[in-house]
């Protein structure tokens, strides 16, 4: 079976759907699951945005696409339904840029650990600490990051996983990364609590995001760990005088592909990734333009 993993989306939900369909068609494979590693940008309305999301949206219109998904036009609904005819709904966990209260209310109201967040059912949120079978793999989900405050790990979720039997989980999906994964401005990045959890659970595979760059494979005992790049990097950044991603293209290394038969994990660098682009992607046109893989 094949599982695709998608890096931080930050509201560019149409890019994520289009890229997953493109992966399936260009490679001529069936995706049995698609998992997004947090920072989907799930907020119920713009007035609930956090300050960072609101600031970035000014120059990056595609980051507002999640709100279009919540109240889709007929054309957008057609595009999403076309995408879902090619790929399964995308599972996602909490990052540090979601409306955590809204997501918790959805779970509480419906009394389920996995719940759709949009009326078309394109994206399903997985509660922190939940363990379930995904494409035949026992998969654990731990959202948020190690940082005091509202985005910190939920103690109940973290402790539940910390008391799960070692070796009973095949895949651990998180938003944060383990401690020591990289350095930035002389600061060591990653979560020491996550490292402890990985060493306890001993999953075959760990996949995370948050740091916006491809990083892996790294070994933590018997676990191989990967971090994904941001799906659609910003057009520009105040620290970079030159444009970074003016056409809002999907980035290499922002999608990973796991073959559960061999446990080979591949960062996707294929040139067709850049075909998924734009401030306001037309999902139907994008999918219609993707060729099937040559037989």
Site of tokens 């290499």: 252
Given a contact cutoff of 8 angstroms between Cβ atoms, the answer to whether 218 and 277 are in contact is: no
Give every CB contact of residue 280 below 8 A, 6+ residues apart in sequence.
61, 62, 65
Residue 11 has pLDDT above 90, yes or no: yes
Given a contact cutoff of 8 angstroms between Cβ atoms, the answer to whether 131 and 138 are in contact is: yes
Q: What per-residue confidence (pLDDT) applies to 186?
A: 79
Please report which confidence band the pLDDT of residue 185 belongs to, taking 50, 70 and 90 as the band edges: confident
The stretch 179-185 carries a mean pLDDT of 83
Site of tokens 């949009």: 118
Q: What per-residue confidence (pLDDT) applies to 262?
A: 98
CA atoms of 24 and 40, how far apart (whole Å): 21
| DSSP result, 237-286 | BTTBSS-S-TT-PPPTTSEEEEETTTTEEEE---GGGGGS--SS--HHHH
CA atoms of 66 and 68, how far apart (whole Å): 5
Percent of the chain surpassing pLDDT 70: 99
Domains, the chain, ordered by start: 2-289 (3.60.21.10)
The stretch 104-110 carries a mean pLDDT of 97
Q: Give me the helices (H) in 28-92, please.
A: 51-57, 65-70, 74-84
Residue 209 has pLDDT above 90, yes or no: yes
Q: What per-residue confidence (pLDDT) applies to 49?
A: 79
Residue 77 has pLDDT above 70, yes or no: yes
Residue 63 has pLDDT above 80, yes or no: yes
The pTM is what?
0.96
For all residues of the chain together, what is the average pLDDT? 95
Cα separations in angstroms, 138 against 7, 54, 130, 197: 21, 36, 11, 16
Structure tokens at 118: 């949009």
112 C-beta neighbours (distance < 10 Å), count = 13
Q: What per-residue confidence (pLDDT) applies to 28?
A: 96
Q: What per-residue confidence (pLDDT) applies to 187?
A: 85
Paired with 139 in beta bridges are 132, 171
Please report which confidence band the pLDDT of residue 295 belongs to, taking 50, 70 and 90 as the band edges: low
């Amino acid at each position: 079976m094949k599982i695709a993993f998608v890096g931080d989306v930050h509201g560019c939900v149409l890019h994520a759907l289009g890229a997953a369909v493109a992966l399936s068609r260009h490679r001529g494979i069936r995706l049995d699951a698609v998992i997004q590693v947090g920072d989907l940008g799930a907020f119920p309305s713009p007035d609930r945005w956090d300050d960072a999301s609101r600031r970035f949206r000014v120059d990056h219109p595609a980051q507002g696409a999640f709100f279009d998904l919540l109240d889709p036009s007929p054309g957008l609904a057609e595009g999403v339904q076309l995408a879902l005819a090619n790929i399964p709904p995308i599972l996602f966990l909490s990052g540090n840029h979601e409306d955590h209260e809204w997501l918790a209310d959805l779970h509480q109201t419906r009394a389920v650990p996995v719940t759709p967040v949009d009326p078309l059912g394109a994206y399903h949120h997985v509660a922190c600490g939940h363990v379930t079978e995904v494409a035949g793999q026992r998969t654990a989900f731990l959202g948020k990051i190690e940082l005091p405050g509202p985005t910190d790990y939920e103690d109940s979720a973290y402790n539940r996983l910390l008391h799960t039997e070692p070796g009973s989980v095949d895949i651990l999906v998180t938003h944060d990364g383990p401690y020591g994964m990289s350095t930035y401005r002389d600061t060591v990045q990653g979560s020491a609590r996550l490292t402890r959890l990985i060493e306890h659970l001993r999953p075959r595979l760990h996949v995370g995001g948050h740091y916006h760059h491809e990083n892996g494979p790294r070994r933590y005992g018997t676990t191989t760990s990967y971090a994904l790049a941001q799906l659609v990097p910003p057009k520009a950044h105040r620290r970079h005088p030159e444009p970074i991603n003016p056409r809002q293209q999907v980035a290499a290394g922002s999608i990973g592909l796991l073959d559960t038969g061999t446990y080979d994990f591949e960062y996707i660098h294929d040139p067709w990734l850049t075909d998924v682009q734009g401030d306001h992607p037309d999902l139907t046109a994008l999918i219609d333009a993707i060729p099937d893989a040559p037989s």
